[in-house]
């Protein structure tokens, strides 16, 4: 049977700054097909679905919906043309009931004008729910629903709007086994009704279970589309990785000393499960894993921002009592956080205050030494070549890379023994990126212990001496970074 | 690339310019104050007499002390709308103790300690129950008023002829002591904000509590300190007020909180916290004093004075929005240059 594609995308390119998030990618979706998208973090999956849902528009390329060419697609048009995107947690109003959410903005009125006909709404929603064989109560508030029920509600909402295309972004990442199975059944049911489904998942087994075709993305490029029966897990993984050597940073070798930091059986119920590892002086210990595997939670515990339920941390053989970040700093542990804006910057304050923050708070008396603060800031600004007009410039006025340099600089004023970098180069341009790498290696040369969390595979592989793999809150593997392949790492992350 | 590198190398020491005077809200306030003063002076020359000027300074003394504390609190990202009730309670306690013959010193100390405790209660409940301090201080308004009514049984506490020194003393027979106390309050607060760790913490927790916490700052400690100091300033203000009036009742000081918050906002400190300077508050308080006095001098219906106060706050918001537009325009070309390099 010849079917015409509902959605076609030809040679789409999306550029952010000087980074091509999507490069010449073509993609098509047939009715009644589950088309999976796979790729690493940052491969361009989200960019692709954002284009289809009208959230962003591509710099180049062509989009056809139902054979008709569309231009300047807006989210509203996209929905009207039958494309519904299901994000993890968006678009639901917690304080309304399930059926009210479905009809939000489009309420059915009864005989009296302005009065919502709740009964009719509930009945119609129940029809859809029954047709899909879902378990979803209609008259409870959304805040009482589980994660999987919220997903289902979004599906109902999409179907009510006559969706012909459903885009599902990591629908199972927060679901348990049974819930995942139920969701799979619903997806199959939808497919049989002729709805086209774009399905994104890190879990490759799911893709083989329900996918018809799979498109592999890597660094913003499409690595072709395959019918699912013509490809194996191994091949998909191979397509996802395998990069040019130019993406890898060539770091200097550093002499590695004795063990300085020992982490023993650290647990925080439900998030981090009995993690043990040690880091030697001069060593870069990388931590990899999928988003949500407990990486950031682990470093929050090491840094005293969260409490561990169990376990101990030793530095230079001495057991540390860390109850707050202040304790951690005093013991010589530094954390460069992942989310600059949320966790790092004092947005409205100037460069001096942002640079001297840690020093003045933790290593000085009651009175500030403003002369010293300025000299120290000059040192940091020079050392890291921060591009700024003057020191009274607010940090929020600097570019991303320069903001990150100031945040890192704040931890270089006083020597720490352990430096934890959580996604050190996220949102940082390539030039500044290399400088940050050099800086990390320089710290290692000075005998510091480095812990580096990264979702960026080339970064993890080119910087780390050893790599710890986190999965579901456990440190499942620690591998020597010697002749290790990207492919092998991904397999460990996913657990195949 | 290499050319750019050398440029960076050359700029070894960045200057730390004082922010341009045109960007400061206090500068606009000063212009407004001078303008109003000149106009009023032309209409009614009595405005510029020493006694009238000193009168203005005396009238804004209490507001100035309270507003200094409020500035710190608002910079830390908190607020206290129970200031008026707190003044009422601590001043009746001071008055009753003086009446009861406990001596001025003890009465004042107890009164100030009570004000500190009251403000701390607002802060502690807010932090402990993760509620906005707006709500907890709203609740404490009734608590403080109720306690004050209960202990006074609603009656007026007069101490005429006693404890008049602070309210009536004039340096060189001219400058009111109460005004000097308020100047001291501004100076102390300015010193704390700009030259102490405590001030730095206050800005940090107000600007980004998570970042402050991860830099080793105890957010609770910093915010509660701000509440305690706010209480201290309220206590001092109650003392000055009691000494000037010579009497206190539970409703003494009511409405001060709104004027103080207004003065702080007019002075360019946003309620969102993390920003602001005491000099802005100083000129904000002064503006309110001058306007109120001018309206009297110009024989404007007193009811309109209240209207003016509201309009003033709105106008100050407009000024701060307009000056931030100007700033954004300035940033743009710079960030473009960075991308090109």
Residue A244 has a pLDDT of 60
Judged by CB atoms within 8 Å, which residues 8-37 of A form the interface with B?
17-18
Among A325, A346, A368, most B C-beta atoms within 10 A, so best to mutate, is A346
| Separation between Cα atoms, residue B265 and residue B246, nearest integer Å | 31
**Among candidate residues A260, A265, A295, the one with its CA nearest the CA of residue A281:** A260
- Beta strand residue intervals within chain B, DSSP E: 157-158, 170-171, 175-176, 247-248
A349 with B203: Cβ contact below 8 A: yes
A-chain residue closest to B15, CA distance: A390
The full set of domains in chain A, from first to last, is: 7-243 (3.40.50.300), 246-494 (3.40.50.300)
Residue B52 has a pLDDT of 86
Name which of A325, A342, A387 is nearest B215 (Cβ-Cβ): A325
B207 with A347: Cβ contact below 8 A: yes
The full set of domains in chain B, from first to last, is: 50-321 (1.10.3470)
Q: Residue with structure tokens 């070798």?
A: A253
Residue B339 has a pLDDT of 35
A368 with B334: Cβ contact below 8 A: no
* Higher pLDDT pick, A156 / B25: A156
Structure tokens that stand for A219 in this block: 């660094």
Contacts of A366 in chain B (CB under 8 A): 196-198
B183-221 pLDDT, tens per residue?
999 999 999 998 888 988 999 999 999 889 998 888 999
Q: Does residue A222 surpass a pLDDT of 80?
A: yes
Q: What percent of chain A has pLDDT over 70?
A: 95
Distance of CA B203 to the CA centre of its chain: 16
User: To the nearest whole number, what is the mean pLDDT of chain A?
Assistant: 84
Q: How far is A443 from chain B (nearest CA, A)?
A: 20
In 3-state terms chain B splits into helix, strand, coil percentages (rounded to 5) of: 75, 5, 20
Residue A290 has a pLDDT of 78
Contacts of B14 in chain A (CB under 8 A): 351, 377-378, 381, 388-391
A361 with B201: Cβ contact below 8 A: yes
Contacts of B15 in chain A (CB under 8 A): 390-392
B214 with A344: Cβ contact below 8 A: yes
Q: What is the DSSP string of A103-154?
A: TTTS--B-SSTT-B-HHHHHHHHHHHHHHTT----SSSBGGGS-HHHHHHHH
Residue A247 has a pLDDT of 65
Q: How far is B208 from chain A (nearest CA, A)?
A: 6
Residues of B with CB under 8 A from a CB of A: 5, 8-9, 12-19, 194-201, 203-204, 207-208, 210-218, 274-275, 331, 334-335, 338-339, 341
The dihedrals phi and psi of B307, each to the nearest 5 degrees, come to -60, -45
Among B216, B218, B274, most A C-beta atoms within 10 A, so best to mutate, is B216
* Strands A259-268 and A272-280, bridge-based pairing: antiparallel
Q: How far is A126 from chain B (nearest CA, A)?
A: 39
Helix H or strand E segment including A169: strand A165-169
Judged by CB atoms within 8 Å, which residues 335-374 of A form the interface with B?
335, 337, 342-353, 357-358, 360-362, 364-368, 370, 374
Q: Burial level of B160, CB count in 10 A (0-12/13-18/19+)?
A: exposed
Name which of A360, A366, A391 is nearest B16 (Cβ-Cβ): A391
Structure tokens that stand for B202 in this block: 């206050």
β-partners of residue A141 are: A97
Task: Identify the three-state secondary structure at position A408.
Answer: helix
Contacts of A359 in chain B (CB under 8 A): none
A51-102 pLDDT, tens per residue?
888 888 888 888 888 888 888 888 888 888 888 888 765 678 888 888 888 8
Residue A343 gets which letter from DSSP? I
Among the residue ranges A15-19, A356-360, A370-374, B234-238, the one predicted with the least confidence is: A15-19
- The CB density around residue A397, as the number of other CB atoms within 10 Å, is 19
A390 with B17: Cβ contact below 8 A: yes
User: To the nearest whole number, what is the mean pLDDT of chain B?
Assistant: 83
The dihedrals phi and psi of B153, each to the nearest 5 degrees, come to 55, 30
Residue B328 has a pLDDT of 46
**How does pLDDT run along chain B (341 residues), one tens digit per residue?**
343 444 444 445 566 655 566 667 788 888 888 888 888 888 888 888 888 888 888 889 999 999 999 999 999 999 999 999 999 999 999 999 998 888 888 999 999 999 999 999 999 999 999 888 998 999 999 999 999 999 988 888 888 877 777 777 777 887 888 999 999 999 999 999 988 889 889 999 999 998 899 988 889 999 999 999 999 999 999 999 999 888 888 888 888 888 899 899 888 888 888 888 999 999 999 998 898 888 888 888 878 877 887 888 787 777 767 765 554 444 433 333 333 33
Q: How far is B145 from chain A (nearest CA, A)?
A: 36
Judged by CB atoms within 8 Å, which residues 252-311 of A form the interface with B?
303, 305
A184-217 pLDDT, tens per residue?
888 898 899 888 999 988 778 888 888 999 999 8
C-alpha distances out from residue A155 to A144, A175, A466, B187, Å? 17, 15, 43, 62
**Model confidence, pTM:** 0.74
Residue B329 has a pLDDT of 43
Helices of type H across B76-176: 83-99, 104-128, 133-152, 165-168
Highest mean pLDDT among A75-79, A259-263, A357-361, B64-68 belongs to B64-68
- CB contact A430 to B (< 8 Å): no
B197 with A366: Cβ contact below 8 A: yes
| Separation between Cα atoms, residue A427 and residue B37, nearest integer Å | 53
Contacts of B204 in chain A (CB under 8 A): 346, 349, 353, 357, 361
Structure tokens that stand for B281 in this block: 């508050």
Structure tokens that stand for A308 in this block: 């561990």
Q: How far is B10 from chain A (nearest CA, A)?
A: 10
| Residues written for chain A | 496
- The CB density around residue A491, as the number of other CB atoms within 10 Å, is 17
Residue A474 has a pLDDT of 86
A to B CB pairs, distance under 8 Å:
123
A387 with B213: Cβ contact below 8 A: no
C-alpha distances out from residue A185 to A172, A178, A207, Å? 13, 11, 13
| Separation between Cα atoms, residue B100 and residue B97, nearest integer Å | 5
A264-274 pLDDT, tens per residue?
988 888 788 88
| Separation between Cα atoms, residue B275 and residue B273, nearest integer Å | 6
| Residues written for chain B | 341
Judged by CB atoms within 8 Å, which residues 373-412 of A form the interface with B?
374, 377-378, 381-382, 385, 387-392, 397, 399, 402, 410
- ipTM rounded to 2 decimals: 0.75
Q: How far is A473 from chain B (nearest CA, A)?
A: 22
Q: How far is B120 from chain A (nearest CA, A)?
A: 22
Q: Does residue A255 surpass a pLDDT of 80?
A: yes
Q: Does residue A36 surpass a pLDDT of 70?
A: yes
Contacts of B210 in chain A (CB under 8 A): 342-343
Taking the CA atoms of residue A62, residue A65, residue A66 and residue A67 in that order, the dihedral angle to the nearest 10 degrees is -10
| Separation between Cα atoms, residue A167 and residue A115, nearest integer Å | 33
| Separation between Cα atoms, residue A127 and residue A136, nearest integer Å | 11
């Amino acid at each position: 049977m010849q079917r015409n594609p509902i959605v076609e995308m030809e040679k789409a390119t999306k550029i952010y700054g000087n980074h091509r998030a999507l490069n010449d990618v073509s993609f098509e979706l047939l009715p009644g097909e589950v088309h999976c998208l796979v790729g690493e973090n940052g491969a361009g999956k989200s960019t692709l679905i954002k284009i289809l849902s009208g959230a962003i528009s591509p710099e180049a390329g062509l989009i056809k919906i139902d054979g008709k060419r569309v231009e300047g697609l807006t989210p509203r048009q996209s929905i009207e043309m039958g494309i519904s995107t299901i994000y993890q947690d968006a678009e639901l109003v917690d304080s309304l009931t399930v059926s009210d959410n479905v009809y939000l903005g489009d309420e059915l009125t009864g005989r009296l004008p302005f009065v919502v006909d709740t009964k009719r709404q509930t009945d119609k929603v129940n029809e859809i729910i029954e047709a899909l064989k879902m378990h979803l109560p209609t008259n409870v508030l959304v805040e009482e629903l589980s994660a999987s029920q919220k997903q289902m509600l979004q599906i109902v909402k999409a179907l009510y709007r006559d969706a012909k295309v459903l885009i599902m972004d990591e629908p199972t990442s927060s679901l348990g086994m049974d819930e995942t199975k139920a969701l799979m059944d619903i997806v199959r049911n939808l497919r049989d009704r002729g709805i086209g489904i774009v399905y994104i998942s890190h879990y490759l087994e799911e893709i083989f279970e329900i996918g018809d075709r799979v498109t592999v993305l890597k660094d913003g490029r499409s690595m072709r589309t395959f019918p699912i029966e013509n490809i194996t897990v191994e091949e998909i993984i191979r397509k996802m990785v395998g990069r040019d050597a130019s993406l890898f940073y060539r770091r200097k070798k550093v002499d590695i000393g004795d063990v300085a930091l020992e982490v023993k059986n650290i647990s925080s119920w439900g998030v981090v499960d009995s993690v043990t590892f040690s880091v030697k002086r001069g060593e870069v210990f990388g931590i990899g894993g999928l988003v949500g595997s407990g990486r950031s939670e682990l470093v929050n515990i090491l840094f005293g921002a969260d409490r561990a339920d169990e376990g101990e941390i030793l530095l230079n053989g001495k057991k540390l009592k860390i109850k707050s970040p202040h304790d951690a700093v005093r013991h010589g542990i530094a954390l460069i956080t992942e989310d600059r804006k949320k966790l790092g910057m004092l947005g409205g304050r100037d460069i001096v205050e942002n640079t001297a923050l840690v020093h003045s708070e933790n290593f000085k008396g009651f009175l500030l030494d403003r002369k010293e603060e300025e000299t120290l800031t000059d040192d940091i600004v020079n050392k890291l070549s921060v591009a700024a007009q003057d020191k009274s410039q607010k940090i929020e006025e600097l570019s991303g890379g320069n903001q990150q340099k100031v945040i890192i600089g704040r931890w270089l004023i006083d020597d720490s023994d352990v430096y934890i970098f959580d996604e050190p180069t996220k949102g940082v341009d390539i030039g500044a990126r290399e400088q940050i790498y050099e800086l990390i290696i320089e710290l290692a040369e000075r005998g510091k212990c480095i812990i580096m969390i990264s979702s960026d595979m080339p970064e993890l592989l080119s910087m780390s001496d050893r790599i710890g793999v986190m999965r579901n809150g456990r440190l499942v593997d620690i591998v020597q970074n010697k002749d290790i392949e990207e492919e092998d790492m991904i397999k460990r992350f996913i657990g195949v | 690339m290499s050319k750019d590198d050398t440029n960076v190398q050359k700029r070894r020491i960045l200057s730390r310019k004082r922010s341009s005077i045109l960007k400061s809200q206090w500068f606009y306030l000063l212009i407004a104050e001078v303008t109003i003063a000149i106009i009023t002076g032309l209409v009614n020359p009595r405005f510029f007499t020493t006694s009238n000027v000193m009168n203005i300074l005396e009238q804004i003394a209490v507001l100035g002390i309270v507003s200094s504390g409020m500035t710190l609190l608002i910079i830390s990202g908190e607020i206290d709308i129970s200031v008026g009730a707190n003044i009422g309670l601590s001043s009746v306690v001071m008055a009753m103790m003086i009446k009861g013959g406990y001596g001025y010193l003890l009465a004042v100390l107890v009164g100030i300690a009570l004000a500190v405790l009251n403000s701390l209660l607002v802060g502690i409940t807010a932090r402990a129950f993760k509620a906005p301090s707006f709500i907890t201080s709203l609740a404490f308004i009734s608590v403080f008023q109720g306690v004050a009514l209960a202990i006074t049984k609603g009656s007026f506490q007069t101490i005429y002829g006693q404890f008049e020194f602070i309210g009536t003393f004039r340096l060189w027979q001219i400058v009111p002591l109460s005004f000097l106390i308020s100047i001291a309050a501004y100076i102390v607060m300015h010193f704390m904000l700009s030259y102490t760790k405590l001030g730095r913490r206050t800005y940090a927790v107000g600007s980004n509590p998570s970042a402050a916490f991860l830099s080793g700052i105890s957010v609770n400690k910093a915010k509660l300190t701000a509440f305690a100091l706010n209480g201290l300033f309220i206590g001092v203000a109650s003392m000055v007020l009691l000494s000037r009036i010579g009497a206190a009742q539970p409703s003494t000081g009511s409405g001060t909180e709104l004027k103080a918050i207004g003065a702080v906002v007019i002075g360019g400190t946003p309620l969102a916290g993390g920003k602001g300077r005491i000099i802005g508050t100083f000129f904000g308080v002064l503006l309110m004093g001058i306007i109120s006095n001018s309206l009297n001098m110009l024989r404007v219906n007193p009811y309109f004075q209240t209207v003016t106060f509201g309009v003033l706050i709105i106008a100050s918001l407009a000024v701060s929005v307009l000056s931030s537009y100007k700033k954004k325009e300035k940033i743009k070309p710079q960030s473009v240059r960075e991308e090109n390099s």
